[in-house]
């Protein structure tokens, strides 16, 4: 496995609409290696999600991290291929987001609070699951990357856009 280079905001790879993955492609060693390398990259940089365009691969593949019990060591990583998001409720929530492609920045974004995700898993099987709260936010953020959308595009105002040090100093109780 290898740690991949992460594209930073301004790189055109982050603004392309990624192509759909042919299901026949999923079982190939090239694709499986991409999934493994993305998992290793996401862990290396303490990400909670990662999308293929962030590692310069314009395909509809993303990793969604779900923290069980609020502990980093129990981070579950769900790879999703050709994911489609549907709202399962009307409520929205506003919370802080960051992105490995926008290092050291944080900003508040409104997202759907409850969604269902339909996708193929890394074996090519159809999966559908419901997400709520922070994992739903992560999924929407990652799947936006597949359409060339960054979290700053979703901000209603840039008043909360801030650097990590200032975020830690003024905007959290941690």
Q: Considering the complex, what minimum distance in angstroms separates the CB of residue 11 from Zn ion?
A: 13
Nearer to Zn ion, 99 or 139 (CB): 99
Contact 93, 137 (CB under 8 A): yes
User: Max Cα separation, the chain?
Assistant: 49
Neighbours of 110 (CB within 10 A): 13
In the complex, minimum distance from the CB of residue 27 to Zn ion, in angstroms, rounded to a whole number: 27
Which one, 124 or 150, has the nearer CB to Zn ion?
150
Q: Which helix (H) or strand (E) holds 166?
A: helix 164-166
CB of 94 to Zn ion, least distance (A): 17
Minimum gap (Å) between residue 7 Cβ and Zn ion: 10
**What residues between 47 and 106 interact with Zn ion by CB under 5 A?**
99
DSSP E strand stretches across 55-125:
61-67, 75-87, 92-99, 102-112, 114-120
Would you say the C-alpha torsion 79, 85, 91, 92 has a positive or negative sign? Answer: positive
Alpha carbons 153 and 9: distance in angstroms, whole number: 12
HSE-CB for 91 with a 13 A CA cutoff: 8
d(CA 126, CA 81): 9
Closer CB to Zn ion, 89 or 103, in the complex:
103
Q: For residue 44, indicate whether it is catalytic.
A: no
For Zn ion, the closer CB: 18 or 99: 99
How many residues sit in the footprint of Zn ion (CB under 5 A)? 1
Query: Do 63 and 138 touch, CB atoms closer than 8 A?
Result: no
Catalytic residue among 25, 132, 142, 166: 142
Give the residue nearest to Zn ion (CB).
Answer: 99
- Which positions are annotated as active-site residues? 142
- What is the contact surface with Zn ion in residues (CB under 5 A)? 99
């Amino acid at each position: 496995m290898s740690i991949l280079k992460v594209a930073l905001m301004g790189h055109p790879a982050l603004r392309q609409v990624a192509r759909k993955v042919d299901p026949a492609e999923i079982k190939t060693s090239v694709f499986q290696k991409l999934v493994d390398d993305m998992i290793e990259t996401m862990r290396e940089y303490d990400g909670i999600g990662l999308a293929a365009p962030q590692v310069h691969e314009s395909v509809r593949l993303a990793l969604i991290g779900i923290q069980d019990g609020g502990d980093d060591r129990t981070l579950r990583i769900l790879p999703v291929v050709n994911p489609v998001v549907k709202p399962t409720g009307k409520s929205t929530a506003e919370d802080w987001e960051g992105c490995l492609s926008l290092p050291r920045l944080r900003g508040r974004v409104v997202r759907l609070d409850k969604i269902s995700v339909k996708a193929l898993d890394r074996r090519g099987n159809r999966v559908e699951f419901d997400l709520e709260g922070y994992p739903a936010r992560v999924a929407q953020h990652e799947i936006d990357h597949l359409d060339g959308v960054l979290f700053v595009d979703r901000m209603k105002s840039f008043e909360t856009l801030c650097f990590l040090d200032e975020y830690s100093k003024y905007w959290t109780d941690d």
